[in-house]
């Protein structure tokens, strides 16, 4: 029975994929033909490669260590709590200024202007009516100003959000992909292929 690989689950599939490719490689097939073991040799080589996976994996140990370290770093970063970037917080404030302030100030302006107009109908309440009217127009001006300033701020934040942040690392995922590819290439070239050819050449039925 094949022994389970001492690899994380996500790496076992890569090992099996490279093992399948190596078993189909011309040099391995040629070695099996020379050994007269082409019929059952593939299954035998697959089994012995799995049983001696630690030996095969050791040939690509440096590449695997780098790949595993990069993956661990990426996993650690993914588990960190998400912090809202400063530009997103600024966008939120501009949204408050451009939406909430105009609504509140506009509602206050309508109420004050209506009250001022009603009180203005009474001859002895001209002073408070005038004060309410002035306050209403001030609130209306604040609503318009908030709408204009907030809208411009949102447009500016949207434009800045399209620019890459200073010092932002965009090569992280690409570097991890390259490290994985380097490990798989080393596993195939320095580990699996030499091992499988050697095992095929040492088959008991090898022709002399």
Judged by average pLDDT, the poorest of 23-37, 53-67, 120-134 is: 120-134
Which tens digit of pLDDT belongs to each residue from 135-157?
A: 888 888 877 877 777 677 667 66
For the chain, state the CA radius of gyration.
37
Per-residue pLDDT for 166 more than 60? no
21 burial via Cβ count (<10 Å: 0-12, 13-18, 19+):
middle
Average pLDDT of the chain to the nearest whole number: 78
pLDDT for residue 165 is more than 50: no
pLDDT of residue 207: 46
Q: List helix spans (H) across the chain.
A: 9-23, 26-35, 38-51, 53-58, 61-79, 86-95, 101-120, 126-161, 172-186, 193-201
pTM: 0.55
More confident: 100 or 65: 65
Q: What is the pLDDT of residues 31-55, one digit of tens each?
A: 999 888 777 889 999 999 999 999 9
Q: Dump pLDDT digits (tens) for 81-98.
A: 655 455 555 556 655 656
């Amino acid at each position: 029975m094949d022994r389970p690989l001492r690899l994380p689950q996500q790496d076992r599939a890569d090992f099996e994929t490279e093992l399948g490719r190596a078993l189909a490689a011309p040099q391995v097939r040629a070695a099996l033909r020379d050994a007269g073991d082409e019929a059952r040799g593939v299954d035998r080589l697959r089994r012995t490669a799995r049983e001696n996976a630690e030996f095969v994996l050791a040939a690509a140990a440096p590449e695997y260590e780098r790949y595993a370290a990069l993956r661990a770093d990426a996993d650690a970063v993914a588990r960190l709590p998400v912090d809202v970037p400063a530009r997103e917080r600024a966008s939120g404030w501009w949204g408050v200024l451009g939406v909430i302030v105009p609504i509140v100030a506009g509602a206050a302006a309508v109420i004050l202007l209506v009250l001022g107009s009603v009180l203005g109908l009474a001859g002895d309440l001209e002073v408070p009516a005038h004060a309410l009217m002035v306050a209403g127009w001030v609130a209306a001006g604040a609503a318009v100003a908030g709408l204009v300033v907030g809208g411009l701020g949102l447009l500016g934040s949207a434009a800045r959000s399209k620019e890459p942040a200073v010092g932002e690392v965009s090569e992280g995922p690409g570097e991890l992909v390259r490290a994985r590819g380097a490990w798989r290439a080393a596993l195939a070239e320095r580990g699996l292929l030499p091992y499988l050819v050697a095992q095929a050449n040492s088959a008991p039925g090898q022709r002399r």
